[in-house]
Structure formats: structure tokens, C-alpha cells
């Protein structure tokens, strides 16, 4: 049985992601050209090593310390998915909160865990005063399909600071 839990700063230990399998094989990506989104072939593999996992833990700890929230999905006390919502509202009307991470361990994908994490993050963001969730989404076709399936659309406002971190990411929003 999968359990979902909001994590405290103390639970975000350096070893939390040790068994987490962030592996993604990408064959096709979406990109924006002349105000249109195009799909093109682009093969690459992403896999988090221990150093990357440690960096992610530090970012999640910073999120919690800055009034954000981190939710974990667990199977037999093993972290198999997580997502976080940053704590600072932004945008012209201060209505956005960012969802920087939402990941499910490779062997647990396509079982509804990501959708449940997304729903929890939407509820948390609403409780934190947001009207919209902002997502800089990986350009892979599979990732874009996930966000479309949970009701995301292209962001009406672009957060340049977030875009500059990963210029190839597709900027999305979810109205809460």
C-alpha cells in the first residue's frame, strides 16, 4: 500500500533518496518555435547519481525552511515518489506558487502515484494562498502528456528566473 506524507525538515535526510531511481529515457521532446509547439526526435537519458540526489535533498530542505511543503510517497517505508511546492507567491497578482519537483521512481511509474502527488500539491498550494501552480516541465513528450492529463496549460505569465534555470523546459500552469 502506498502512503503519502508531508515531510518535515528532519525527514529530509541526506539518505532519503538513496534507493530512489530517477531514470528517464527520452526519445522525443516538445519545443517552442515561432510561438508554436513542435515535437522532434531527441534521444537522451537522465539518471541521478548520489551527488545530484544530495543536491535535490538540499533544495527540498530549503523549500521547507522557506515555508514551502514537500510530500513523499512511500511503499514499505521506502520513498518512491515526491513533490514540492515553494512557499513564495509570485506573478503580477502574486497568485502563483512553483512546483519545482514531482518525481516517481522509475519502477513505480504509470500507477497513479504522480497524479496523487500532483493533487496533494494542488491542495497544499491552495491552502498556501495560490490561485495557480507554476511548473517548468521537462520537455519530454511523456512528461508533457502527464501535465496535460492533470489539467495543466501553457503559462499565461512566464517567470523569467525559473525559465533561465532550464531554458528548454516548457512553462506550464494549473489553475487551482
The domain locations on the chain are 2-175
Low-confidence ranges of the chain (pLDDT < 50): none
For the CA atoms of 142, 146, 149, 152, the dihedral, rounded to the nearest 10 degrees, stands at -110
User: At the topology level of CATH, where does 2-175 sit?
Assistant: Aminopeptidase (3.40.630)
Using CA atoms, how far residue 148 sits from 20, 39, 151, 167, 172, in Å, is 25, 15, 5, 20, 9
Which residues, 6+ apart, have CB-to-CB distance to 79 below 8 Å?
A: 16, 17, 19, 20, 72, 73, 105
For position 31, what pLDDT does the model report?
85
Amino acid at each position: 500500500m502506498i502512503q503519502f506524507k508531508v515531510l518535515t525538515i528532519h525527514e529530509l535526510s541526506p539518505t532519503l533518496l538513496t534507493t530512489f531511481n530517477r531514470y528517464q529515457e527520452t526519445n522525443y521532446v516538445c519545443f517552442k518555435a515561432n510561438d508554436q509547439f513542435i515535437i522532434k526526435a531527441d534521444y537522451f537519458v537522465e539518471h541521478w547519481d548520489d551527488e545530484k540526489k544530495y543536491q535535490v535533498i538540499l533544495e527540498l530542505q530549503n523549500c521547507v525552511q522557506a515555508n514551502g511543503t514537500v510530500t513523499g510517497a512511500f511503499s514499505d517505508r521506502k520513498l518512491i515518489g515526491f513533490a514540492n511546492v515553494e512557499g513564495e507567491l509570485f506573478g503580477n497578482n502574486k497568485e502563483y506558487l512553483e512546483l519545482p519537483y514531482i518525481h516517481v521512481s522509475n519502477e513505480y511509474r504509470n500507477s497513479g502515484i504522480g497524479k496523487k502527488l500532483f493533487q496533494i500539491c494542488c491542495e497544499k498550494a491552495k491552502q498556501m494562498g495560490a490561485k495557480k501552480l507554476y511548473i517548468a516541465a521537462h520537455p519530454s513528450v511523456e512528461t508533457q502528456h502527464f501535465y496535460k492529463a492533470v489539467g495543466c496549460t501553457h503559462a499565461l505569465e512566464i517567470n523569467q528566473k525559473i525559465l533561465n534555470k532550464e531554458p528548454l523546459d516548457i512553462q506550464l500552469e494549473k489553475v487551482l
